[in-house]
């Protein structure tokens, strides 16, 4: 029994191929049943997202199964197996476990740390459970990967910092105001990006949104969407002191806010901080405004820079996450292997016990006049001999349970002690 | 016995500072947890040391420089633990614990034997005057540390050079609030400390105020903090300005506490 992964992802295959190979929900269900029924694999779980199509399987013979899976996939999606050869990968044993853990932790994602993949994996898992294509091995492995993902999420910062411009704006607001609940936001101009940023602010607890736009209808439309109020474009400056966060995105060719005005506003609001998010190009806020203390001005480039450094931070955390994943891979691998050895050890002791019983019976039938105490001594003697003889082989098997050639030792033990009976010549 | 407890606590504090600095660098959850565990155990041993010392000497153990420094450090750790329990401000430990460690470590360098209380200090005022003063000093230490953290974070946000501290330090609002809370809490304590000192001076030296260097410097410190509190409530002095003043104020605190004792001679020179 071996765990394998066969598939392709955004790193190995372009979107033209990924889209051809992706599975719909009903297709997954069909494929699950088909592969299990035709005995290509023992257990199967198909994960199909826009960035990856992967088949996690438990098989008896790796090479045959990979070949069969490849053929199945090619036939299923009507593409030639040669194309699949170029874009797919397969991992076995430890590598397969590592791959699943990394996928679950979003270390293999296009944007490291993005949270969707775990949900998609859970969906795939539930589908496989429903189709009964998944057995004890994969169940344990996948459940374990969820555990690892949770651990990574809480112990590292790979999904902490914003990686989109509009989220970065919200994050910056939180670094300035801490809690943005109850803060007032002013949208000057109505662009797509400012709308997005406003939406994120809303979902983070901002309640007062004001919209000012040159065309009144558009302002009203936006205000309705955000449950906010319309502010006449001309009265923006008088009302500036009520605002905490100002998002500008007009196409005005000149600066809408200059240093002197903002300075005056600050006095009126007792120096409570102001945060300008200037998404417009050309810029709407004079860069000199940022010289006022307690005023922070971020233009589109600044926000991009924050995103970039957030990405770097995630990569740093990802390195640490990899070491944690590695620890879990080792752990799981050991467990799997010790499980490989355990049946052999059980068979071994059972066989020796059977021999002991048999020989004792023979001996006792030849010596019918023994007292109970004497029988006891002989029985103990036999037991001690078998135990001592088995001690070293069992220790060796346990010790070898997590090396690469475990299977070899298991095979050797089976053949040396003829554990499979007379099935093997 | 009290010295043994004191040294154990010093060891714990060293470990705690190490863990908190580790946490500042790589943000590992375990580093913070270990740091706080060590701080708490250090604090427990430190408290035991103070209690045993109080038991043996029969007076509040704030009567010489070793005892004052040790108590100062103890008060900072106490406030830190309360804050950590209530607010969990990120990276606060990495900034405030080294400061406490400096005081406790300097205390450990000084003679630690229990000395008999000199007659001038044998008064019920000793306990009240010293605990309120040092309580005030310890809260100002938090205003000081929060001021430093504020300036670092503000610099990161303003210069738009997003670095290590941007991710590690709390938001400006939280830091500004910490400065504010420390002042609101510490200022009355300092005021009570000065008033009780003055009442005590009247019974011990026969006059409420005698312009002893300690009194003078304490008054200057008091004025700085009074100005800071006042400006905050009236004209909205906050942010960078309060951060600077909180830092300057604490320099005066240190001079009132240590500088006066070590450099200037006066009625307060007991150390």
| Domains of chain A by residue range | 2-155, 165-303, 336-416
Mean pLDDT throughout B217-245?
89
In eight-state DSSP terms, residue A257 is B
Whether chain B has a CB inside 8 Å of the CB on A157: the answer is yes
Residue A59 pairs in a beta bridge with: A2
In angstroms, the CA B166 to CA B157 distance is 7
Q: Which residue has the tokens 């102001």?
A: A274
Q: Cβ–Cβ of B160/A273 closer than 8 Å?
A: no
Is 3.30.720.110 the CATH classification of the domain at A165-303?
no
Work out the burial of residue B146: count CB atoms within 10 Å of its CB; fewer than 13 is exposed, 13-18 middle, 19 or more buried.
Answer: buried
Q: For residues B144 and B2, which has the higher predicted lDDT (pLDDT)?
A: B144
Q: Which of A178, A245, A318 to mutate to test the interface with B (most CBs of B within 10 A)?
A: A178
Cβ atoms < 10 Å from Cβ of B10 = 20
Whether chain B has a CB inside 8 Å of the CB on A304: the answer is no
pLDDT score recorded for residue A128: 93
Q: Which residue has the tokens 């394998």?
A: A4
A2-155: CATH topology is Beta Polymerase; domain 2 (3.30.460)
Q: For residues B118 and B109, which has the higher predicted lDDT (pLDDT)?
A: B109
Q: Cβ–Cβ of B174/A178 closer than 8 Å?
A: yes
Q: What average pLDDT is seen over chain A?
A: 88
Question: pLDDT-based confidence at A93, cuts 50/70/90?
Answer: confident
- Per the structure block, which two tokens stand in for A393? 């082989």
pLDDT score recorded for residue A328: 94
Is the ipTM higher than 0.90? The answer is no
Q: Name the minimum distance, in Å, from the CA of A102 to any CA of chain B.
A: 20
Q: Using the CB atoms, write b or e for A30-68: b if 16+ within 10 Å.
A: ebbeebbeeebbbbbbbbbbebbbbbbbbbeebeebbeb
pLDDT score recorded for residue A1: 73
Which chain B residues contact residue A157 at CB under 8 A? 27, 167
Which chain B residues contact residue A305 at CB under 8 A? 160, 162
Three-state secondary structure string covering A159-213: CCCCCCHHHHHHHHHHHHHCCCCCCEEEEECCCHHHHHHHHHHHHCCCCEEEEEC
Q: Out of B166, B171, B238, whose CB is closest to A271?
A: B238
Q: Out of B28, B160, B171, whose CB is closest to A174?
A: B171
pLDDT score recorded for residue A221: 87
pLDDT score recorded for residue B153: 93
Residues of A (315-334) whose Cβ lies below 8 Å from B: 320
Whether chain B has a CB inside 8 Å of the CB on A272: the answer is yes
Whether chain B has a CB inside 8 Å of the CB on A293: the answer is yes
Mean pLDDT throughout B214-239?
88
pLDDT score recorded for residue B120: 72
Question: pLDDT-based confidence at A425, cuts 50/70/90?
Answer: very low
What residue in B sits closest to A291 (Cα-Cα)?
Answer: B158
Q: Judge whether residue A135 has pLDDT over 90.
A: no
What are the catalytic residues of A?
Answer: 50
Q: For residues B17 and A199, which has the higher predicted lDDT (pLDDT)?
A: B17
Which chain A residues contact residue B166 at CB under 8 A? 175
In angstroms, the CA B144 to CA B142 distance is 5
The values of phi and psi at residue A122, to 5°, are: -65, -40
Q: Cβ–Cβ of B167/A313 closer than 8 Å?
A: yes
The values of phi and psi at residue A278, to 5°, are: -105, 100
Question: pLDDT-based confidence at A423, cuts 50/70/90?
Answer: very low
What residue in B sits closest to A308 (Cα-Cα)?
Answer: B162
Q: Which residues of B touch A (CB under 8 A)?
A: 26-30, 153, 157-158, 160, 162-163, 166-167, 170-174, 177, 235-241
Cα separation values, A282 from A248, A254, A424, Å: 11, 8, 82
Tell me the per-residue pLDDT of A243-299, one tens digit each, with 9 for 90 and over: 999 999 888 888 999 999 999 998 888 888 999 999 888 899 999 998 888 899 999
Which chain A residues contact residue B240 at CB under 8 A? 293-294
Q: Name the minimum distance, in Å, from the CA of B235 to any CA of chain A.
A: 6
pLDDT score recorded for residue B239: 83
Q: Judge whether residue B267 has pLDDT over 70.
A: no
Q: What average pLDDT is seen over chain B?
A: 89
Q: For residues B136 and A410, which has the higher predicted lDDT (pLDDT)?
A: B136
Interface size, chain A vs chain B, as Cβ–Cβ contacts under 8 Å: 62
Which chain A residues contact residue B174 at CB under 8 A? 178
Whether chain B has a CB inside 8 Å of the CB on A273: the answer is yes
Mean pLDDT throughout B90-117?
90
Q: Judge whether residue B269 has pLDDT over 70.
A: no
Sheet bearing A52-59, strands edge to edge = A43-48, A52-59, A2-9, A89-92
Tell me if A45 sits within 8 A of A69, measured CB to CB.
no
Cα separation values, A389 from A383, A384, A385, Å: 10, 8, 6
Is residue B118 classed as helix, strand or coil in its secondary structure? Answer: coil
Question: pLDDT-based confidence at B8, cuts 50/70/90?
Answer: very high
């Amino acid at each position: 029994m071996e765990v394998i992964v066969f598939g392709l992802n955004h790193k190995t295959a372009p979107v033209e191929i990924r889209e051809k190979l992706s599975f719909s929900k009903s297709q997954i269900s069909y494929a699950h049943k088909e592969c299990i029924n035709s005995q290509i694999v023992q257990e199967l779980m198909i994960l199909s997202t826009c960035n990856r199509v992967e088949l996690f399987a438990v098989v008896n013979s790796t090479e045959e199964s990979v070949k069969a899976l490849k053929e199945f996939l090619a036939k299923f999606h009507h593409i030639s197996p040669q194309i699949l050869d170029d874009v797919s990968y397969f991992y076995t044993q430890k590598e397969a476990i590592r791959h699943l853990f990394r996928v679950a932790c979003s270390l293999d994602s296009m944007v490291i740390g993005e949270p969707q993949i775990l949900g998609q994996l859970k969906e795939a898992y539930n589908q496989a459970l429903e189709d009964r294509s998944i057995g004890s091995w994969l169940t344990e492995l996948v459940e374990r990967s969820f555990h690892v993902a949770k651990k990574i999420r809480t112990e590292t910062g790979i999904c902490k910092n914003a990686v989109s411009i509009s989220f970065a704006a919200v994050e910056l607001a939180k670094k300035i105001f801490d809690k943005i609940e109850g803060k007032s936001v002013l949208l000057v101009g109505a662009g797509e990006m400012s709308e997005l940023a406003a939406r994120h602010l809303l979902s983070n607890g901002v309640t007062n949104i004001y919209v000012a736009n040159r065309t009144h209808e558009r302002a009203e439309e936006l205000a309705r969407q955000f449950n906010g109020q319309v502010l006449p474009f001309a009265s923006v400056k008088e009302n500036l002191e009520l605002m905490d966060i100002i998002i500008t995105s007009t196409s005005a060719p000149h600066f809408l806010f200059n240093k002197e005005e903002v300075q005056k506003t600050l006095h009126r609001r007792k120096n409570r901080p102001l945060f300008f998010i200037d998404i417009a190009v050309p810029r709407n806020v004079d860069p000199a405004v940022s010289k006022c203390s307690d005023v922070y001005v971020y233009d589109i480039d600044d926000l991009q820079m924050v995103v970039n450094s957030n990405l770097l931070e995630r990569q740093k955390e990802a390195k640490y996450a990899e070491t944690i994943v590695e620890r879990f891979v080792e752990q799981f691998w050991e467990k799997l292997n010790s499980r490989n050895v355990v049946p052999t050890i059980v068979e071994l002791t059972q066989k020796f016990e059977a021999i002991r019983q048999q020989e004792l019976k023979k001996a006792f039938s030849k010596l019918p006049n023994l007292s109970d105490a004497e029988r006891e001594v002989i029985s103990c003697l036999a037991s001690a001999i078998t135990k001592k003889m088995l001690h070293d082989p069992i220790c060796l098997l346990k010790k070898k349970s997590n090396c690469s050639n475990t299977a070899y030792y298991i095979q050797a033990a089976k053949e040396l002690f003829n554990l499979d009976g007379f099935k093997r010549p | 016995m009290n010295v043994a407890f004191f040294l154990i606590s010093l060891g714990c504090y060293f470990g705690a500072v190490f863990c908190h600095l580790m946490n500042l660098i790589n943000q590992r959850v375990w580093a913070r947890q270990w740091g706080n565990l060590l701080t708490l155990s250090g604090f427990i041993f430190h408290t035991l040391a103070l209690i045993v010392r109080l038991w043996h000497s029969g007076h509040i153990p704030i009567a010489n420089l070793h005892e004052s420094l040790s108590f100062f450090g103890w008060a900072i750790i106490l406030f830190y633990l309360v804050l950590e329990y209530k607010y969990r401000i990120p990276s606060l430990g990495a900034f405030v614990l080294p400061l406490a460690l400096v005081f406790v470590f300097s205390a450990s360098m000084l003679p630690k034997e229990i000395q008999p209380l000199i007659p001038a200090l044998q008064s019920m005022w000793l306990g009240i005057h010293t605990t309120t003063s040092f309580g005030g000093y310890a809260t100002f230490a938090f205003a000081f540390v929060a001021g430093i953290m504020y300036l670092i974070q503000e610099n990161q946000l303003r210069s738009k050079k997003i670095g290590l501290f941007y991710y590690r330090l709390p938001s400006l609002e939280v830091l500004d609030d910490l400065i504010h809370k420390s002042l609101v809490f510490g200022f009355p304590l300092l005021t009570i400390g000065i008033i009780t000192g003055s009442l005590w001076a009247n019974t011990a030296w026969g006059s409420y105020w005698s312009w002893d260097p300690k009194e003078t410097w304490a008054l200057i410190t008091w004025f700085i903090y009074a100005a800071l509190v006042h400006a905050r409530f009236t004209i909205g002095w906050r942010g960078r300005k309060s951060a600077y003043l909180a830092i300057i104020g604490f320099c005066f605190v240190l001079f009132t506490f240590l500088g006066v004792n070590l450099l200037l001679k006066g009625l307060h020179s007991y150390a």
